[in-house]
Chains A and B, each alone.
Chain A
Amino acid sequence: MSHLKAVASRTLQLALVLWAVVTILFLMFRLMPGNPMAAYIDPTFTVEQQQALMAQFGLDKPLWEQYFIYLGNLLQGELGQSFRYREPVAERIFALLPNTLILTFSSLFVAYAFGILAGAYLAWRRGSAVENAAIPLVLMTRAMPEFWLGMVLLAVFSFWLGWFPAGGTRPAGADYDSLWALYTSRDFLSYLALPALTLAIYSQGLPLLLMRSNMLDVMKEDFVTMARIKGLSNWTVVVRHAARNALLPVMTSFAIAVGYQLQGNVVVESIFSWPGLGRELVNAVSASDYPLAQGAFLMIAVVVILMNLIADMLYALLDPRISHA
């Protein structure tokens, strides 16, 4: 298959998946029982006022027509208007997205840095007491409910020890010249620390286990044995030769992890008062604000789909069979 054809078919597939997710979303929200705006129509409204409100949100038209209007609007990057906030959904989502992304990526960087190092170390110490104790421990970190871990960390590091603030992204009333100035400030780091740590503890298991098993594979390969015969010390072999080769598939998993992490944020954002997309989704869903819920859901889905695509492409690019050939 030519390169061009592969890219074209992948793009088509992506479009298909996006269209399907959008359609499922639309149906899910419109087919729920009851008037979608019931919670927002004041009972003192006259019939005309109610109808005007329905018309304002395009709810007076038949379902199929609403669907095509929705699709058309999406193509123009128009996500509709929130019932609850009476403002464009896109505006709210783009105000919150940076917060969610920075939390996701910073926690994953920490998780991957730790996971890769610890995974390499455990592979090197294969069969030792440390490894025997560490593996079940790592598995247990993945078995903890994230909100439980978050609440416990909040209680210990914020309430009891007072090392970190309890919630938000910045001190009350603090003003910064730009988002960049905020994100690079010391204050921001102290606010980011606990939520990022919670997510990192949960996500370090995947890179750690992957790195370890890849390392074990690579260490059996000829060139590693050769290096050992050459008399290089064990740790040098691990770092110089094995780790480098074992690293690539782990990095591929990073893209998938971004997608998963974005979903896990929902809970952690609520605990640490982090103004992100996940918390907005929960609020919107419980307030029956479906344009907003739909928009937030779609945004998360788009990131997930994109990350799946990147992972696929990276995988094709870095396939061990290709790199070894």
Chain B
Amino acid sequence: MHDLALQKPGLVGRMFRSLKLPLSDPFAVFGLAVYATFLLTAIFADAIAPYDPTEILYTPEYELASDLRPGEQGFILGTTSLGRDIFSQIVYGTRSALIIGITAAFMVALIGSVVGLVSGYFGGWVDAVLMRLADIAFGIPFLPFVIVLAAFLEPSIWNVVLAMALVLWRDTGRVIRSQVLTLRSRGYVDAARVCGSSDLKIILRHIAPNILPLSFLYGSIAIGWAILTEASISFLGFGDPQSISWGYMLQDAFASQALAKQAYYWFVPPGICIILVVSAGFFITRGYENLLFPKLGR
């Protein structure tokens, strides 16, 4: 800890190092590569996708370009029953998936970490109140909660993020709290306090960097949760029809009877994209677990 402070690397570099990315685990590396690929796709979606994903397309004969198979009329993955380009939807879907996933993960990790830090560090009535709040959050069934929220608010992808921020900080909060409790009992925190460091300084300097990997771990689980939840909500018809997501595509495919039409090119790719992104998160998580709790792994 002391050494680090002496070298005085830039804040970004320090944060990055304290993330301790699990680069030695091949699956975790695969996961990171998947993330990187989808991230690039999301950023350059406008350049990659040949069409606007919600535009109704026509063939050169001025007929609706509906239910075209892959390759027909130059549509890479074919078109939907309502004449939209599937490939463009997949590309733009990446954007919604990552926006939802990353903001939800950020909220969950941030709120959970703050609650855990404050609760564990200060203890007493603050701890008692926060942990009772966590108990209440544990008592709320998550998916039903999202459904109710999505039904009452205007349909939007942010409903899922909001619901996750309101409820799912609970797991992260509890785990971080117990981690903070162990850290607090270590000598250097007491030493710092004796030297007259303020609470804020102790938290930021000595405790926060040590729990950052743990927050990141819970964050990467939350990415998967957010994407899966958004997909379920869309499937149940509470999604936002204005912004194309993979969950929305699957809903559209099933509502348009892609199964009966044997339109694999329509309902398989979004499913695979979801599985890839979500399991990438799990792979990274596992890499972390092996790093953080070596006894769990092999």
CB-CB under 8 A from A193, the residues of chain B are none
Question: Whose C-beta in chain A lies nearest to the C-beta of B282?
Answer: A139
In the complex, whether B275 has a CB less than 8 A from a CB of chain A is yes
Rank and list the top 6 A-B pairs by shortest CB-CB distance, nearest first: A143-B278, A143-B279, A263-B143, A20-B136, A139-B282, A32-B152
Measured CA separation A13–B135 after assembly (Å): 9
**Complex CA distance for A283 and B174, rounded to whole angstroms:** 34
Give A186-219 as 1s and 0s: 1 = Cβ < 8 Å from B's Cβ atoms: 0000000000000000000000000001001100
A259 at the interface (CB under 8 A from B): yes
**A22-38 interface bits toward B, Cβ cutoff 8 Å, 1 = contact, 0 = none:** 00100011001100000
The stretch of A75-83, A106-114, A146-154 in contact with B is A146-154
CA of A18 to CA of B149, assembled, Å: 20
Residues 128-177 (chain A) with a chain B CB within 8 angstroms: 135-136, 139-140, 142-148, 151-152, 154-155, 159
| Given contacts A151-B267, A282-B147, A13 and B132 within 8 Å (CB-CB) | yes
Cβ of A292 within 8 Å of any chain B Cβ, yes or no, is no
Interface size class of B (residues with CB under 8 A): 35 or more
Query: Among the listed A21, A32, A145, A266, which residue makes an inter-chain contact with B228, where contact means beta carbons less than 8 Å apart?
Result: A145
A200 to B231, CA, bound (A): 19
Q: Which of A40-48, A92-100, A296-304 contacts B (4 or more CB under 8 A)?
A: A296-304
Q: How far is the CA of A311 from the CA of B122 in the complex (A)?
A: 28
Query: Does B235 count as interface, using CB distance less than 8 angstroms?
Result: yes
8 A Cβ contacts from A217-236 to B? 217
> Whole-angstrom distance between the alpha carbons of A21 and B136 in the complex?
7
Which one of A154, A213, A301 lies within 8 Å of B296 (CB-CB)?
Answer: A213
A136 proximity list for chain B (CB < 8 A): 27, 279, 283
Contact B259 A281 (CB under 8 A): no
* Chain B residues with CB below 8 A from A66, complex form: none
Check A71 for interface membership: any CB of B closer than 8 A.
Answer: no
Contacts A143-B282, A145-B250, A281-B144; A304 near B139 (Cβ below 8 A): yes
The answer to whether B236 touches A304 (Cβ under 8 A) is no
State whether A139 and B144 are in contact (beta carbons under 8 Å apart), knowing that A13-B135, A155-B259 are contacts in the complex: no
Beta-carbon contact of B141 and A259 below 8 Å? yes
- In the assembly, what is the distance between CA of A72 and CA of B149, in Å? 26
Chain A interface secondary structure, helix, strand, loop or mixed?
Answer: helix
Cβ of A69 under 8 Å from chain B: no
Minimum C-beta distance from A103 to chain B (A): 15
Asked if B44 lies at the interface with its beta carbon under 8 angstroms from chain A, I say no
Known: A13-B135, A154-B259. 15 other contacts (CB 8 A): A16-B135, A20-B136, A32-B152, A136-B27, A139-B283, A143-B277, A144-B271, A145-B235, A151-B267, A216-B296, A217-B295, A264-B143, A285-B151, A297-B141, A297-B144
Q: Known contacts A32-B152, A262-B141: does B279 contact A267 (CB below 8 Å)?
A: no
CB nearest neighbor in B for A277: B144
B298 within 8 A of A: yes
Q: Are A266 and B236 in contact (CB under 8 A)?
A: yes
Interface residues in B278-298 by Cβ distance below 8 A to A read 278-279, 281-283, 286, 295-298
A266 and B271 form a contact (CB under 8 A): no
Minimum Cβ distance to chain B for residue A313 (Å): 15
Number of A positions contacting B (CB below 8 A) = 52
The verdict on B148 contacting chain A, using a C-beta distance below 8 Å, is yes
- For the complex, is A305 an interface residue (Cβ under 8 Å from B)? yes
Tell whether, in the assembled complex, residue B250 and residue A285 are in contact, meaning their CB atoms are under 8 Å apart.
Answer: no
**A56: CB under 8 A from chain B?**
no
**What are 9 A-to-B residue pairs whose CB atoms are below 8 Å?**
A17-B132, A28-B149, A136-B279, A143-B275, A143-B277, A148-B267, A281-B147, A301-B139, A305-B139
Judge if A245 is at the interface, Cβ distance under 8 Å.
no
B283 touches A266 (CB 8 A): no
If A127-B298, A142-B282, A266-B236 touch, does A151 touch B144 (CB 8 Å cutoff)?
Answer: no
Instruction: Give the residues in chain B near A147, CB-CB below 8 Å.
Output: 231-232, 235, 250, 254
A50 on the B face (CB < 8 A):
no
Please tell me if A308 contacts chain B, counting CB pairs below 8 Å: yes
- Residues of A contacting B237 in the complex (Cβ-Cβ under 8 angstroms): 286
B256 CB to closest chain A CB (Å) equals 13
Residues on B with beta carbons closer than 8 Å to the beta carbon of A282: 147, 236
Cβ–Cβ < 8 Å partners of A144 in chain B: 271, 274-275
In whole angstroms, how far apart are the Cα atoms of A68 and B267 in the complex? 49
Chain A residues near B232 (CB, 8 Å)? Answer: 145-147, 266-267
Identify the interface centre among A33, A139, A286, A301: most chain B CB within 10 Å of its CB.
A139
Per the bound structure, the CA–CA distance linking A297 and B152 in Å amounts to: 15
